Amino acid sequence: MDINYLAYSDYGAPSAGEAALLAITYLFLFLLAIAGYVISSFLLMRIFDKAGVQGKWRAWVPLYNYLVFAKLGDVSPWIVLGLAVASAIPILNVLAGLGLVVALVMISYRVNAKFGREWPLLLLFLLGPLGQWIFLAILAFGRNPWNPAIRPAPWANSFLADKTVWNGIPVQPGQQVAGGTNGPGYGGSGYPGSAYGTPPAPPAQGYTPPQTPPASGTTPPPPAPPASGTTPPPPAPPAGPRV
């Protein structure tokens, strides 16, 4: 049987039944893609909230949400963006696609560790998109808290490491950045309240903070005795009679 007969009727035009079947197939694939986008964005929103990312809208912006996810996984978002752009180029799409898969596994490995879970959970990625949704759901709805204070990533000193500072996204501890603020409560290197990635400076040597006055109705404590080897100052002479 001629294969062209199955796809086309007279003059090369598809038959009505085949056109309807093709339209149903495209509609199903479109709805499946929308469902996958909604599920992934919702699960990322839950993970971002646990990690302290400000703004739930970040999880609903296509591609940008995975750039934020990359920062939480200590991978430079510009690497992920470059691979995503290269995957649209016919010559580079195969290699770029493999690179995206490797980058996603690296990011998920770090995020999984910051939730205190073991690496075998990443075997869910062998199930394809369904396994990725199950993995994200376990992190999003699990009881394990977010704890970024873990050992540095193996690629911490390479070009793959994240060195960017984005407003509203907490900088991970130990991340080497040039400086700058990262939203309320987040400093350049992960110290809360520090604007330039350094811990608060200690008080100057010899500085004594002012004492809090005693509460009303209480007796102040007696003055401390002089240190050993020192002579107390003589008492002040009495004031003379007033003229």
31-89 pLDDT, tens per residue?
A: 988 999 999 999 999 999 999 999 999 999 999 999 999 999 999 999 999 999 999 89
Q: Where exactly are the structural domains of the chain?
A: 39-162
Q: Is the pLDDT of residue 111 over 80?
A: yes
Residue 193, pLDDT score: 37
Residue 166, pLDDT score: 95
Give residue 195's Cα distance to chain centre: 18
Residue 232, pLDDT score: 59
Q: Is the pLDDT of residue 194 over 90?
A: no
Q: Is the pLDDT of residue 153 over 80?
A: yes
- Round to whole Å and give the CA distance between 76 and 73: 9
- Round to whole Å and give the CA distance between 5 and 10: 9
Polymer length in residues for the chain? 243
Is there a contact between 142 and 43 (Cβ–Cβ < 8 Å)?
Answer: no
Give residue 204's Cα distance to chain centre: 35
Q: For 167-186, what is the mean pLDDT? A: 64
- Round to whole Å and give the CA distance between 52 and 170: 7
Is there a contact between 68 and 48 (Cβ–Cβ < 8 Å)?
Answer: yes
Angle (nearest 5°) at CA 45 between 49 and 82: 110
Residue 64, pLDDT score: 96
Residue 233, pLDDT score: 62
Residues 6+ apart with CB under 8 A from 117: 138, 139, 142, 144
Q: Is the pLDDT of residue 13 over 50?
A: yes
Is there a contact between 190 and 103 (Cβ–Cβ < 8 Å)?
Answer: no
Name the pLDDT band for 181 (thresholds 50, 70, 90).
very low
Number of other residues whose CB lies within 10 A of the CB of residue 13: 10
Name the pLDDT band for 190 (thresholds 50, 70, 90).
very low
Tokens of 30: 């479109």
Task: For residue 161, list its beta bridge partners.
Answer: 75
